[in-house]
Amino acid sequence: MRTLCIATCALALVMSLCACPSAAYAQEDNTIVVDGSTTVGPIAKAFAEYYMERHPEVNITVSESGSGNGAKSLLNGACDVADMSRFMKESEFKAAADNGIMPVAHVVALDGIAVIVHPSNPVKGLTVEQVRDIYTGKITNWRQVGGPDKDIVVASRDTNSGTYETFETMVMNKQKMAAGTEYYGSNGAVHKKVSNTTTAIGYVGLGFLDRKVKGLEVNGVFPSPETVKSGRYPIARPLFMFTNGYPKMGTHLYAFVTLYLSPEGQEIIETIQFVPVTSYAAGGSATAKKE
Amino acid sequence: MRQPAPHDSSAPLQKKRSLSLSEKASRLKRLASLAVRGLLFVITAMSAIAVLFIVVFILKDALPFFRLRGVAEFFESVRWYPSGDPPEFGALALFVGSGLVTLGAIVVAVPLGVIASLCLSDLLPFTLRQIVKPIIEVLAAIPSVAYGFFALIVFAPLLQDKGGHILSVAAWVVGLPLVATAAFVLSDLAAARLPAAAQRAARAVALIALSALGVWGLMHLAGACTRLEIASGTNALNVSIVLGIMALPTIVSVSEDALQAVGRELREGSYALGATRAETLVKVVIPAARSGIFAAIILGVMRALGETMVVWMASGNAAKIPAPWYNLTKPVRTLTATIAGDMGEAEHVVGAARYHVLFALALCLLIFALIANLASEWIVRRARARLRGR
Amino acid sequence: MRLGTRKMLDKAFSGLGVVSILLLAAALLVILGPMIVRGSRAFVFHATVEHRRLMLEKFNRGKRSAVEAEIAEAAAARQPVYDMIAAFEQELKGMSVAERRNYRDTFEELKDALRELLGPFPDEKRPLVTREQYGETRWDGAKTKLHRVLNIETYDYGDGTELGTLVLVPRVNDFKGTSLEPLFGYLQKHTCDMLRPRLTFYWRFLFDTSYDAHFFGGIWAEMLGTIYLAIGAMLFAVPFGVISAIYLAEYAGEGRAISLLRSFISTLAGVPSIVFGLFGLAFFINTIGVSSSKSVLAGSLTLALLILPTVIRASEEAIRAVPQTYREAALSLGASRLWTTLTVVLPAALPGILTGIVISMGRAAGETAPIIFTAAVSVGRPLKVWQTLTQPTPALPWNIYNLATEHEAVDEIQHVQYGMVLTLILVVLALNVTAIILRARLSKKLRG
């Protein structure tokens, strides 16, 4: 019995030590903790993988617990980079200053919020007012917007989310959502809900628009990287990564956070369906409001 | 030869009078053992104090919320908009949501669990019991996130696409034996009043009439179920069923212990008086074990109430009391899912109602759990005292 | 009631009992069945040449010469496809602007679908994102992707008052009369040659790190994280738990203070798991600051609190179960209380204590709510032992939740989701079975 215990503990230790044999390294510069938005998450994860492949000694961990949690982690010094799909609020800046943190925003990409329905839904497009009425509960049946006679299942992001905040600001005009709205914790969950429910409506970032859901035209404009680039799509917003001050030049953090400026970074961003910052048309009418 | 000191056999064995040669050494040894005892007590106290720490911390961060927003809105309003402008913190819908799924879980788990525990303790032969016990233990061991995964990925689409059919099949499966049994018993009772000659015929007629009535009722019920359109598979029904399955092992094992504890004498006495096994179990054993079964139910309630992952993934998270309150096919939002989901957004600005309201929710959960725990302990202790006093 | 009715009721009751047991077994089957069946597809599946290429390039696995020969054969089978595409592009150049616009969208869709199936075109630059560097690695996925190449999914909405119905239009209709027309027939006939599926037992799924957010590779980071958390929880809970159990079983009387302590400990058992998570975040990370951010250490401490009551209860029972004769014999030989406990009682109770510990480890491994805010991240490298003090880690329970809800391509990685769930269930069940075997040996030992 005793030998069994000792053997098990030894085995566990040996297994963990064998995981990747390499020498000890300085903790500080070689770990980057990224936390925050589920919209920016795919970008952060793709960047992390790209960077870790070229710098095996660096460990980048990515959490996706929502823009608000990312901000909170940054303020507490718990993360190095906060992904946020909205700008920081005034109260967050104040709290940061109180904690001695100076948040600096890096706009890594542009995104549009697409309103999605199930592909079998015949409705082609809605106006912003119609979307607002659906979410506030004034419109409850697809029949009222030219679709089949079925009750609308309304899916929204949790209040945790920057996507939710942007939607609230740009579409809802700060009106409150209907009581029966179902809340989901991530873009992926809303996407899954809408792709499985024929009568559902939801909103996700552009990167989550694929064959399993149908994007609706909003005010006549279809959500796509091109329409966001040209500024025609009305619900567009920048995606941020916040750091504590500007990262010291030459550190891994600096290289990671400025990856979006390089051609490789922009190619990665385009691959996952977002809009690189530099391709946004000048004079575009749909610049996202800050708050 | 020196005589050994007379040993007083009535003295308790704990008296540490070690066989040492000097007074001083024995005093040292006594001090040492006292120190050891003290150290052990301190460590045990630390383990126990943990729960006090938890209560104090949750309380500490929950009270500011009530100071900021008062108590009325929290418990009476259904408008839950913590990030709204102006924010509203009406948690009534959350309480109702938690209560609804717990109630649903109990409705699923208690009949099934109590009958299964009866079966395990009295009806099954030893070999079958050795097969069934592992099934219960495996059900208990499956992690809650696996149940949540099942509820979201497998069960929700099933409910959405074929929910009505599943419910009607369940109605038939549960209803048909019940109808048959009820018809039999009622026809028997009715015909008992009549004179012996007409009894057989009357019984047959009553049986046919009642079963026809029952089957007709079932058909209507099943038809209504089939017509039911479940718009969204992530709803209270989904969560209730899965929570019921999660609470089952707790209820079964604790009830079984209670039933075993009743002892052979009561059972044998009842059999000696000519009761059938069913009558013994229902009329003698269950009432004797009822406090243990009640404690089991309370433990099951605590399990269902405190579960987070299943409700977070599969309840729909809509902070709304369903239109008729028993309409389980609508999404609901529970206390636990709100804490897990909103924890991220809460700005860690001390004084923000949004951060403290989550601790207020946790405080309510904690208080429910404490009360339920104390109640079940008190019931078990009282039952044990009663048994001992007998 | 007549005797006959009573007998019938008795039989009905027995039937009811049997039905309830059957329902329990059915519930277990319904829950575990899909997990086992679909989860095993993460380990045993038909792998294409793309999978072997991935193994060779990213993990340096497989005989280089054999794999490269296979890649060359597959490339030879694919060459006609690329030739036909090139020929069509030449054709496009010769068309008018209007005609070109006609073909543009559907041609792009076709090329995208081909890239998903076969990987990047031979003349294209190597993509930066890993998921685009390879074609489809699983045969069942390949069949779906081939379907998407060959057919366009559209919805027929009728007059717009009803939900649309799915209509599959063969893509070949869009390219009738062009040089791409034979492409589709060729694809259908030669899919096996282009992808070369072979039944593979990918047991390394457990030990490989994942690439590109679980698109490829395995779940080692999560496995290791779960192992660290379970062992860490045990390291903190066992000393406190066993010592408290010794005190309660051996030294404590029946006074008010002791019963108060006992009720505190059983109250701890009833606290909901999300409250532990909140407490862990508020106390261990924000107040004491065992680590500046999430870390395995904070998560282990929180989990230790969770399993403490179970450890105490199981240890206390085991210690009480040791016959009093052991203690009396030791005392009669002149041993002190402590010495008796350490050298006689504990070793005799060890199997029972170990059983409790192993079951608690299983519980700690499977819990999610305590680690959401204290230890778990979605993506990260497998940690080395000294890093666990300060760094968070992916863990099986949290990543199951993450992959089921948040991931951006939920359908591509369905086998990974089920594989993770199956792994977690198997790990917990293995721990429980170990505990049961220990318990069986315990009862034999003490009786014998």
Residues of B in contact with A164 (CB under 8 A): 83
Total-model pTM:
0.87
Q: Which of A55-69, A210-224, B9-23, B184-198 is predicted least confidently?
A: B9-23
Walk me through the domains of chain A, giving residue ranges and CATH numbers.
Answer: 26-109+238-279 (3.40.190.10), 111-230 (3.40.190.10)
Q: What is the mean pLDDT of chain C?
A: 87
pLDDT band at B346 (very low <50, low <70, confident <90, very high): very low
Give C341→chain A minimum CA distance, Å.
17
Whether residue B147 lies within 8 A of chain C, CB to CB, comes out as: yes
What are the helix and strand counts (H, E) for chain B?
Answer: 15, 2
Give C415→chain A minimum CA distance, Å.
16
Per-residue pLDDT tens over the stretch B63-95 = 888 888 888 888 888 888 887 777 888 899 999
SS3 B162: helix
Per-residue pLDDT tens over the stretch A103-120 = 999 999 988 899 999 998
A197:B316 CB<8 A? no
Q: Which structure tokens are listed for C97? A: 């602007």
Paired with C210 in beta bridges are C217
pLDDT of residue C6: 85
Per-residue pLDDT tens over the stretch B240-295 = 999 999 999 999 999 998 898 888 898 999 999 988 888 899 999 999 888 889 99
SS3 A14: helix
Give A99→chain B minimum CA distance, Å.
11
Residue B166, classified by CB atoms within 10 Å of its CB into exposed (0-12), middle (13-18) or buried (19+), is: middle
> What total of structural domains would you count in chain B?
1
pLDDT of residue A21: 35
Distance CA B353, CA C378 (A): 29
Structural domain contains residue B58: no
Complex-level ipTM: 0.89
> Quick check: A290 pLDDT over 50?
no
Residue among C153, C293, C378 whose CB faces A78 most closely:
C293
Q: For B32-48, give the DSSP string.
A: HHHHHHHHHHHHHHHHH
> Quick check: A281 pLDDT over 70?
no
pLDDT band at B200 (very low <50, low <70, confident <90, very high): confident
Structural domain contains residue B43: no
Which residues, at least 6 apart from C212, have a Cβ–Cβ distance to it below 8 Å? A45, A46, A49, C129, C130, C131
Q: Which structure tokens are listed for A239? A: 């995606």
Sign of the alpha-carbon torsion through B242, B248, B251, B253 = negative
User: What CA–CA distances, in Å, run from C148 to A88, A209, C120, C196?
Assistant: 42, 17, 17, 19
CA nearest to B316 within chain A? A182
CATH number at residue B105: 1.10.3720.10
Answer for the pair C328, B104: CB distance below 8 angstroms, yes or no: no
pLDDT of residue A201: 94
Choice between B172 and B239, residue whose per-residue pLDDT is larger: B239
> Quick check: A289 pLDDT over 50?
no
Per-residue pLDDT tens over the stretch C178-201 = 888 888 888 888 888 888 888 989
C406:A16 CB<8 A? no
Structural domain contains residue B60: no
Give A165→chain B minimum CA distance, Å.
9
Distance CA A266, CA A263 (A): 5
Structural domain contains residue B166: yes
pLDDT of residue C424: 94
pLDDT of residue C309: 92
Average pLDDT over residues A49-63: 87
Per-residue pLDDT tens over the stretch C224-280 = 999 999 999 999 999 999 999 998 888 877 788 888 888 888 888 889 999 998 898
Rg (CA), chain A: 22
> Quick check: B349 pLDDT over 70?
no
Chain A / chain B CB contacts < 8 angstroms: 90
Structural domain contains residue B44: no
Structural domain contains residue B284: yes
Domain boundary assignment for chain C: 48-198, 220-447
Number of neighbours of residue C263 by Cβ within 10 angstroms? 16
Structural domain contains residue B370: yes
> Quick check: A63 pLDDT over 90?
no
Q: What is the CATH number of domain C220-447?
A: 1.10.3720.10
pLDDT of residue A14: 54
Choice between C297 and C164, residue whose per-residue pLDDT is larger: C297
pLDDT band at A285 (very low <50, low <70, confident <90, very high): very low
Residue among B83, B343, B348 whose CB faces A76 most closely:
B348
pLDDT of residue A24: 29
Residue among B48, B123, B144 whose CB faces C264 most closely:
B48
Structural domain contains residue B49: no
Per-residue pLDDT tens over the stretch C390-416 = 888 899 999 998 888 876 666 778 888
Chain B / chain C CB contacts < 8 angstroms: 269
Average pLDDT over residues B382-389: 75
Choice between A19 and C332, residue whose per-residue pLDDT is larger: C332
C261:B306 CB<8 A? no
Distance CA B91, CA B80 (A): 6
Phi-psi region of C429 (alpha: psi -120 to 50; beta: other; left: phi over 0): alpha
The range of the structural domain enclosing residue B294 comes to: 69-389
Q: Would you list which residues of chain B are within 8 Å, Cβ to Cβ, of chain A?
A: 78-79, 81-85, 88, 93, 156-157, 160, 231-234, 312, 316-320, 330-331, 333, 341-349, 352
Distance CA C241, CA B42 (A): 12
User: What CA–CA distances, in Å, run from C302 to C36, C114, C275?
Assistant: 30, 49, 10
Distance CA B301, CA B366 (A): 13
